[in-house]
Structure 1
Amino acid sequence: MFAKNVGSTDRLIRAIVGIVALVVFFTAAGVLKWIALIVGLVMLATAALGTCPPYAMLGINTCKTKG
């Protein structure tokens, strides 16, 4: 589907940010809670898939391998 454009360091950072955001989701209240949920899910999804559509649109590639 999409070419991988997220490198291993980038994926690790995204996973950590996603986990922290989900912790905020479970501990916060109000609008911050829902923003944290969206950020957490997007970060974890892009880390798991290894692809980031905004990176593709901007021509950014942190992945050292092709494909």
Structure 2
Amino acid sequence: MNLKKLFLEENVGGFDLLFRTIYGILAILALATGLVKRSPWKWIVALIAFMGLYSSILRHCTPYAILGISTAEKK
């Protein structure tokens, strides 16, 4: 498999992009407002927030690339 395609090709779009952005923001808000109390859960929610926002900003999901899934519009 081509590494450029695996790590750089846009494969997130539409509803999937919106969903990732929303759950990333909600996870950050949960951390900021103190809704998550226990330490292990804070790390899990922080990871969820990071992955959601990271994949929505870059419009790329590596597991999607490995599985050959794309929700992005075809150019």
Shorter chain as denominator, the TM-score bin is: 0.7 to 0.9
Indicate whether 1:11 and 2:17 are aligned.
Answer: yes
Indicate whether 1:48 and 2:57 are aligned.
Answer: yes
Q: Are the counterparts in 2 of residues 25 and 32 from structure 1 also a CA contact under 8 Å?
A: no
Which residue does the alignment assign to 1:61?
A: 70
Please provide the CA RMSD for this pair: 1.2
Q: Tell me which structure has the larger Cα radius of gyration.
A: 2
Listed as ranges, the gaps of 5+ residues in structure 1 are none
Q: How many residues are aligned here?
A: 66
4+ residue stretches of structure 1 with deviation over 4 A?
none
TM-score of the superposition, structure 2-length normalised?
Answer: 0.79
Instruction: Indicate the percent of aligned positions where both proteins have the same amino acid.
Output: 36
Indicate whether 1:38 and 2:44 are aligned.
Answer: no
Listed as ranges, the gaps of 5+ residues in structure 2 are none
Structure 1 counterpart of 2:37, which letter?
A
TM-score of the superposition, structure 1-length normalised?
Answer: 0.87
